[in-house]
Structure 1
Amino acid sequence: MVISQESIRFAAVGDLHCRKESAGSLRNLFTQAAEAADALLLCGDLTDYGLPEETHVLVEEMAAARIPIVAVLGNHDFESGRQEEVQRILIDAGVRVLDGEACEIHGVGIVGVKGFAGGYGRGTLGPWGEGAIKQFVNEALHEALKLESALAKLRTSQRIAMLHYSPIEATVKGEPVEIYAFLGTSRLEEPLIRYPVNAVFHGHAHRGTPEGKTVNNIPVYNVAKPLLQRSFPDRPPFRIIEIPKTEAGTV
């Protein structure tokens, strides 16, 4: 790996959905990402059922990627209630797993949260009525607050935000309209308006749209692997962006 003097190249992909029988199927992706980029961002749903056995397969597959790897978990990684084990296996393998934290890679500040659902714009679910509805909305608010807190800690001039759920409606378009509210929420966009970043990456919406923008024109990239494979069949299934290189800040 040779880092450009002018920019840092990030590869991003989500929704790998690694299973126990996936051995050998993801190795080429990680090898190609390491050859194309200076760091790799994994945007959730790394496993299919959130099992430690799946995670062990995943870390074996990513062993060839000798570049920094940063990840957030997705809803599938929570499916079996063993997300802490999944996270620990990833961390032990050298992956930086973010859940409302910030880190710095080659002078670029990176924040990450899973995010949550709740809908967009006028269709955003409000905390009214039954306790279960309030609890659902509070989860979305909690994830948005974690994102805002992490963004506020960054002291780098160049920054990236990673999520699993989408902060904008534009990148979920292509999915059935009826499930938009379960693919993300505008509440995740609000911190990005207060603390702008160079780019936002998310996954989750397998049949969504590859690109969109926040209301303050921050580019948002849907990097769900099934979407990238369908949209760009002639490319490896990850998205590359270049961030101008500056002097490192502090986190």
Structure 2
Amino acid sequence: MPRSASTVRFAAVGDLHVTKASAGTLRALFAEASEKADVLLLCGDLTDYGTAEEAHVLADELSVVKVPIVAVLGNHDFESGTPETVIEVLTKAGVRVLDGEAVEIEGVGIAGVKGFAGGFGRGSLGAWGEPAIKLFVQEALQEALKLESALAKLRTPRRVALLHYAPICATVQGEPVDIFPFLGSSRLEEPLLRYPVDAVFHGHAHRGTLEGKTINGVPVFNVARPLLLRTRPDQAPFRLFELPRETGDAAEPDAARAQGVHEPSVP
């Protein structure tokens, strides 16, 4: 699909859960996403056990993509205790893996972080009692602070947030209520209210709901691949989203635009 002069198109999907048996199974998906979008967003659980072998399989599958790729890790990518290996392999393959950082592509700012669990609203776990509980809550707070730091760096008129865990309860509806606290955290929504974005993408909730909204009305999309496959079997399992393209004085310099990606300025 030709590059649009008026919009920037994103293709977003998460929960690929790549194993060594996935070789050759995702190239058609990635090729179609690359054809239809200007940017590919990957919302965590890129691998199944977080091994180097799985990361190499994913890197090979992504070789057909001709547009910038931005990703965050998910909980599965930490399973083997070497998430840095997954990041290294994917970075060498041209993927920009965010962990509390921000990047600008086609004039749109993208802030990314894995996020963490802890529950939503009045059901959020508080930092009280045993040290283990306090450490758990501190992890959720740290991820929210990383997201806020990434958002604060962006100076672009248009912004999106890339997560693995859900920032709102609406997009985990459909999952067993008992596991809601492990699917995301309202603490991730708080930075999104202080630094508004145009859209939020996350995964993790395989049996959740496709779309919800933050308190201030920003669309939140659950792009877990198993959910997309089940609820939209007649469509490719990724979510397309468009934003108006900035033109004139707001456009990127030619050199930066030709490269496609550049780092945002730090305040």
TM-score, normalised via structure 1 length: 0.99
Unaligned 5+ runs, structure 1: none
- TM-fit CA distance, 1:231: 1.1
Partner of 1:134: 134
The count of residues paired between Structure 1 and Structure 2 equals 251
Letter in 2 for 1:157: P
- TM-fit CA distance, 1:220: 0.1
Q: Output the CA distance in 2 between the equivalents of 1:16 and 1:50.
A: 12
**Does the Cα contact within 8 Å between 1:160 and 1:200 map onto a contact in 2?**
yes
Alignment of 1:58-207 (within 5 A): 58-207=58-207
- TM-fit CA distance, 1:3: 1.9
Q: Output the CA distance in 2 between the equivalents of 1:151 and 1:39.
A: 19
Partner of 2:36: 36
Partner of 2:255: none
Q: Which deviations, in whole Å up to 9, do the C-alpha atoms of 1:103-125 show, x marking residues without a partner?
A: 01100000000000000000000
Unaligned 5+ runs, structure 2: 253-263
Q: Output the CA distance in 2 between the equivalents of 1:229 and 1:190.
A: 30
Partner of 1:233: 233
Letter in 2 for 1:72: V
Moved more, 192-201 or 1-10: 1-10
Q: Output the CA distance in 1 between the equivalents of 2:22 and 2:231.
A: 23
- TM-fit CA distance, 1:2: 3.1
Q: Which deviations, in whole Å up to 9, do the C-alpha atoms of 1:146-182 show, x marking residues without a partner?
A: 0001101100000000000000000000000000000
Task: Report the 3-state secondary structure (helix = DSSP H, G, I; strand = E; otherwise coil) of the residue aligned with 2:150.
Answer: helix
Letter in 2 for 1:224: A
Task: Report the 3-state secondary structure (helix = DSSP H, G, I; strand = E; otherwise coil) of the residue aligned with 2:21.
Answer: coil
Task: Report the 3-state secondary structure (helix = DSSP H, G, I; strand = E; otherwise coil) of the residue aligned with 2:47.
Answer: coil
**Does the Cα contact within 8 Å between 1:49 and 1:77 map onto a contact in 2?**
yes
Q: Output the CA distance in 2 between the equivalents of 1:201 and 1:138.
A: 23
Task: Report the 3-state secondary structure (helix = DSSP H, G, I; strand = E; otherwise coil) of the residue aligned with 2:145.
Answer: helix
Q: Output the CA distance in 1 between the equivalents of 2:73 and 2:113.
A: 8
Letter in 1 for 2:117: A
Task: Report the 3-state secondary structure (helix = DSSP H, G, I; strand = E; otherwise coil) of the residue aligned with 1:48.
Answer: coil
Q: Which deviations, in whole Å up to 9, do the C-alpha atoms of 1:190-244 show, x marking residues without a partner?
A: 0000000000000000000000000000000000000001111111000000011
Task: Report the 3-state secondary structure (helix = DSSP H, G, I; strand = E; otherwise coil) of the residue aligned with 1:103.
Answer: strand
TM-score, normalised via structure 2 length: 0.93
Q: Output the CA distance in 2 between the equivalents of 1:125 and 1:97.
A: 29
- TM-fit CA distance, 1:82: 1.0
Q: Output the CA distance in 2 between the equivalents of 1:154 and 1:4.
A: 23
Q: Output the CA distance in 2 between the equivalents of 1:248 and 1:219.
A: 25
**Does the Cα contact within 8 Å between 1:50 and 1:79 map onto a contact in 2?**
yes
Q: Which deviations, in whole Å up to 9, do the C-alpha atoms of 1:46-105 show, x marking residues without a partner?
A: 000000000000010110011100000000000000100000000010000000000011
Q: Output the CA distance in 2 between the equivalents of 1:3 and 1:220.
A: 25
